[in-house]
């Protein structure tokens, strides 16, 4: 079952064409990657899916419904299905860990504080952090811990679709590997669809079920890593440059 379908999407800014008639589907419960060079329009697609950026030409369907035909109320409801972990998704420095995780719940739900706190602690646990960090402030956390807290905040509202923009950037290789493992565990635990923008070959190899590579305004590749590695296309080969590493599985 497709959760999101992009059909014949074309986008240009001024006279600069970013996407030229691109189409692809994201299946429910998969971990899907959007890959491509800098400026290839990865973020723009995500912004269009979550209705932060206007669709200029083409269609985007969410669970078979054209998002351009939604009423204001339906659009708001749709948006509540989405959650993000932005690349520089900063935590509020003046709030401690548990308060950071609770922010959205406090703002957008009418749940009693005691329940919000329980949910926040559950989410803290889900991202692999001990409750002893609950009262620490962001400045007291490592980069990997900050990412985990931001992830806990992103899943607190129980989204159907989670968007991760370069989730492992800035992490050392070991922390990045652990974070990748966590992403897969969360998909199982929460039964959600995860859409990732990434350049991290370990993420591409071990986390993504399928991905697209955008090049020169078009989709240069759509499929899984095994299929990608068999492509003769030079651009795809170059894109997966460290493919020795990929093929040998370490
Ligand atoms: N609202 C906008 N108005 C004008 N130009 C824009 C707008 N949004 C994006 N662009 C341009 O469109 C191109 C694609 O941007 P986008 O952020 O989607 O790329 P990206 O693939 O996510 O890049 P990166 O990997 O560097 O984050 C860029 O050249 C950007 O400057």
Q: Which pLDDT belongs to residue 237?
A: 82
Q: What is the pLDDT of residues 97-149, one digit of tens each?
A: 999 999 989 998 899 999 999 999 999 999 999 999 999 999 999 988 999 99
Collapsing DSSP states into helix, strand and coil, what is residue 199?
A: coil
**Is 102 touching ligand 1 by the criterion CB < 6 Å?**
no
* Whole-angstrom distance, CA of residue 151 vs CA of residue 128: 11
**Is 43 touching ligand 1 by the criterion CB < 6 Å?**
yes
**Is 12 touching ligand 1 by the criterion CB < 6 Å?**
no
Least Cα distance to 170 among 127, 210, 133, 141 occurs for 141
State the closest ligand 1 atom to the C-alpha of 87, by its place in the atom list counted from 1: 27
Type and span of the H or E element at 21: strand 16-27
The count of residues in the chain is 250
Least Cα distance to 202 among 25, 24, 29, 33 occurs for 33
Least Cα distance to 150 among 178, 177, 184, 124 occurs for 124
Q: Which pLDDT belongs to residue 35?
A: 95
* Whole-angstrom distance, CA of residue 198 vs CA of residue 166: 5
Q: Which pLDDT belongs to residue 246?
A: 45
**Is 15 touching ligand 1 by the criterion CB < 6 Å?**
no
Q: What is the pTM of this model?
A: 0.91
Atom 24, ligand 1: which residue's CA is nearest?
38
Q: What is the pLDDT of residues 55-73, one digit of tens each?
A: 999 999 998 999 999 999 9
**Is 42 touching ligand 1 by the criterion CB < 6 Å?**
yes
Atom 7, ligand 1: which residue's CA is nearest?
13
Q: Which pLDDT belongs to residue 250?
A: 40
Close Cβ partners of 69 (under 8 Å, ≥ 6 residues apart): none
Q: Which residue has the tokens 């939604």?
A: 70
168: CA distance to ligand 1 center in Å? 20
Q: What is the pLDDT of residues 142-173, one digit of tens each?
A: 988 999 999 999 999 899 999 999 999 888 89
45: CA distance to ligand 1 center in Å? 10
Q: Which pLDDT belongs to residue 86?
A: 75
φ, ψ for residue 25, nearest 5 deg? -125, 150
Collapsing DSSP states into helix, strand and coil, what is residue 146?
A: helix
Q: Distance between alpha carbon 56 and the CA centroid of its chain, in Å?
A: 23
Q: Which pLDDT belongs to residue 88?
A: 63
67: CA distance to ligand 1 center in Å? 22
10: CA distance to ligand 1 center in Å? 14
25: CA distance to ligand 1 center in Å? 21
Q: What is the pLDDT of residues 1-43, one digit of tens each?
A: 999 999 999 999 999 999 999 999 999 999 999 999 889 999 9
* Whole-angstrom distance, CA of residue 142 vs CA of residue 144: 5
Q: What angle do CA 95, 97, 98 make, to 5 degrees?
A: 95
State the closest ligand 1 atom to the C-alpha of 47, by its place in the atom list counted from 1: 18
Q: What is the pLDDT of residues 234-249, one digit of tens each?
A: 888 888 875 444 444 4
Q: What is the pLDDT of residues 206-231, one digit of tens each?
A: 999 999 999 999 999 999 999 998 88
């Amino acid at each position: 079952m497709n959760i999101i379908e992009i059909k014949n999407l074309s986008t240009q800014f001024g006279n600069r064409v970013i996407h030229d008639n691109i189409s692809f589907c994201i299946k429910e419960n998969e971990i899907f990657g959007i890959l491509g060079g800098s400026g290839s329009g990865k973020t723009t697609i995500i912004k269009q899916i979550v209705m932060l950026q206007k669709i200029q030409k083409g269609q985007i369907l969410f669970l078979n419904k054209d998002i351009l035909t939604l009423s204001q109320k339906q659009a708001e409801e749709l948006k509540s299905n989405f959650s993000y972990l932005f690349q520089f998704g900063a935590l509020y420095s003046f709030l401690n860990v548990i308060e950071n995780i609770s922010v959205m719940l406090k703002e957008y739900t009418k749940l009693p504080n005691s329940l919000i706190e329980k949910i926040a602690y559950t989410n803290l646990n889900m991202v692999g952090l001990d409750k002893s960090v609950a009262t620490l402030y962001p400045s007291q956390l490592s980069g990997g811990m900050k990412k985990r807290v931001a992830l806990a905040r992103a899943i607190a509202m129980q989204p159907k679709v989670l968007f991760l923009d370069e989730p492992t950037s800035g992490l050392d290789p070991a922390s990045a590997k652990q974070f990748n493992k966590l992403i897969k565990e969360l998909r199982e635990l929460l039964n959600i669809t995860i859409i990732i923008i990434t350049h991290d070959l370990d993420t591409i190899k071990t986390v993504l079920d399928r991905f697209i590579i955008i090049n020169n305004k078009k989709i240069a590749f759509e499929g899984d890593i095994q299929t990608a590695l068999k492509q003769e296309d030079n651009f795809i080969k170059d894109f997966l440059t460290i493919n020795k590493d990929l093929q040998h599985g370490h």
